[in-house]
Amino acid sequence: MRRTAWASLILLLALPARAQNSSSPDASSGPDAVKETTGRLVLVLPFENRSGQPNLQWIGDSFPDTLNQRLNSAGFLTITRDDRQYALDHLGFPVDFRPTRATTIRIAQTLDADYVVLGSFNVQNGTITTQAQVLAVNKFSLSHPLEDSSPLARLFDIENAIAWKVARQIDPHFTVAEQTFLAASGQVKLSAFENYIRGISSPASSERIKRLQTAVADEPKYAAALLALGKAQYADRSYADAAATLARMPKNDRLALEANFYLGLARFNSAKYADAESAFAFVASRLPLPEVVNNQAVAASRQGKDAVALFQRASTADPNDADYHFNLAVAYLNRGDSPAITRELDTALKLRASDPEATDLRTRVVQAHTSGPALKTSVETAGFEPLERVRRTYSEASFRQAAFQMDQMRAARLAALPPAQQATEYTQQGRDYLAQGLIPEAEIELQAALTADPRSETAHAGLAQVREQSGDPDSARKEANTSIQLKPNVPAYLVLARLDLQADHPDASAGNVRNALRLEPNNSAALGMKQALLARGQALP
């Protein structure tokens, strides 16, 4: 991702604002909305280690990883580690360079960042304390210090708390609860997290793979570590190992698109073209970017399939890419369509005149003076066999641009719907996020639903589940009761049932399960709660 890519991301931010990023029902449209959604590109720098213990440097490197995840879930755009390193290289700074305020601004300007988060940490007697500040690049101003502390064993808590404070510093209207951020990291072991951070930070391939393998062994379902390990194995040309690692990524995980892109490449390099096509098709079905569609087409073509339609999609989506036109010409060669081949090669050579293979192919096609099946035979002589070109690099900027565009298109579509229907769709998306364990994203969607329709009982029930999962039983109970007052429903009753059981009130829990089963006698979750109560000797009244 480079400066021009980030610039286009910022331009995308001028599209209509998402309702959940506003603090009032009418803030999602008009000039104010555009103003509020611009300037949300954030660069998080590694935190300075002031502990005097070099072996804890990995903690400073871990802050950008966690803060980026949380800020992305909150609707901000963050700059990746790779692009931060690009900026340092571009400016002639070493990777471990600790910038001054002036050089921080230069780095931010190189990457078009609107805000920079910089900070430090210290560890004493098993307690970590940290301080962060937000630099507003356009104002050249630093925020007041954002501070927090916790036992070192609860490192995720302090990083998530700082992320929440940063979000609030940048956007005072940010409504997601701090407790939701604190619950967002899941159950990853700290030892696995340490090996993951040490792994992605290691310049040596062998050390990187070893650390990431240890992280995955410690936490077999650690999605970020699986992706990083698969990419490291792919870069090391261990294609079979990379494919085995990346195939373990759940399809509903937010990292599944990138994982399947590299899974497709690993399988392609092992000549498993059908499997490669399947992996690329999975990504293209969700984000049909030209590089993905192109790779899907190449994998299909290597199996002897006619991939003209797919190559046309790629070249139409990005008409200024010479390789896509060359690939389309090769696909037309398989059809024996001489005029189409010449047209695509002419376009490719206009875009890249110094392409000897394209020049050679065009010359051979013109000299063949034929079309149809005989053309391919005539052209492919003396060892000349043009092959379609696969894209081997994953552009996170392109993927995030496309995802953001889709989000904006969805918001624009929902804005035209009646409030109750808006609430229904936002609530469903919130439930989907909950099913994936994405608690902050779920809360944002459910808050949007309640902005559209404050009397949506399903949105209140969903928010009750968010509060339950984030460890705030009082707020969860309040939301569940509000939901039931609006309209009795099974999800809200089950939240109350679980809270009552956790509080050792089995009678009250049984009553709520009974109410749920009255509404839906065959509800599997309610029947499961019933069995759990019966196992404890608690009969339903």
Tens digits of per-residue pLDDT, 291-313?
999 999 999 999 999 999 999 99
Give the total number of structural domains in the chain: 3
User: Do 214 and 274 belong together in one domain?
Assistant: yes
* Distance separating alpha carbons of residues 205 and 213, to the nearest angstrom: 12
59 close to 47: Cβ distance less than 8 angstroms: yes
pLDDT in tens, 147-178: 999 999 999 999 999 999 999 999 998 889 99
- Domain C-terminal end among 164, 186, 208: 186
**Torsion, Cα of 488, 494, 499, 504 (10° steps):** 110
Same domain, 275 and 197: yes
Q: Which residue has the higher pLDDT, 536 or 420?
A: 420
Question: Measured between alpha carbons, how far is 174 from 94 in angstroms, rounded to an integer?
Answer: 36
Q: For residue 506, how far is the Cα from the chain centroid? A: 40
- Let me know if residue 24 belongs to a domain: no
**Residue 198 covered by a domain:** yes
- Average pLDDT of span 494-513: 94
Q: 225 and 112 share a domain?
A: no
Residues 234 and 216 in one domain: yes
At 230-272, the pLDDT tens digits run: 999 999 999 999 999 999 999 888 889 999 999 999 999 999 9
Q: Which CATH number do you get for residue 476?
A: 1.25.40.10
The two three-digit tokens of residue 112, written as one number: 């078009």
On whether residue 140 sits in a domain, the answer given is yes
Indicate whether 195 and 118 sit together in one domain: no
Largest CA distance in the chain: 89
Structure tokens at 6: 């980030």
Shared domain for 219 and 128, answered yes or no, is no
In sequence order, what are the beta bridge partners of 398? Answer: none
Domain boundary among 186, 220, 238: 186
Query: Is it the case that residue 27 has pLDDT exceeding 50?
Result: no
Residue 284 confidence (pLDDT) above 80: yes
Q: Are residues 99 and 180 in the same domain?
A: yes
Consecutive H or E run containing 344: helix 338-351
Each residue of 39-58: pLDDT tens digit?
Answer: 678 999 999 999 999 999 99
The whole-number pLDDT of residue 400 equals: 66
Please report the pLDDT score of residue 186 as a whole number. Answer: 66
Residue 109 within a domain: yes
Give the CATH number, domain containing residue 144.
Answer: 3.40.50.10610
pLDDT of residue 497: 95
Mean pLDDT across the chain: 86
Q: Is residue 139 part of a domain?
A: yes
pLDDT > 80? residue 381: no
Q: Are residues 149 and 73 in the same domain?
A: yes
The one-character DSSP state at 541 is -
d(CA 248, CA 245): 6
Residue by residue, DSSP assigns 151-196 as EGGGHHHHHHHHHHHHHHHH-TT--S-HHHHHTTTTT--HHHHHHH
pLDDT band with cut points at 50, 70 and 90 for residue 33: very low
One domain for residues 178 and 89: yes
541 pLDDT band, cuts 50/70/90, is: low
**DSSP helix/strand/coil, 419:** helix
Say whether pLDDT at 16 is over 70: no
Residue 122: which domain range?
39-186
Residue 374 belongs to some domain of the structure: no
pLDDT at 91: 77
Q: Contact, 499 vs 529, CB < 8 A?
A: no
Q: Tell me the C-alpha distance between 230 and 242, whole Å.
A: 4
| Token code pair at residue 83 | 């692009």
* Token pair recorded at residue 372: 């149809």
Q: How confident is the model at residue 399 (pLDDT cuts 50, 70, 90)?
A: low
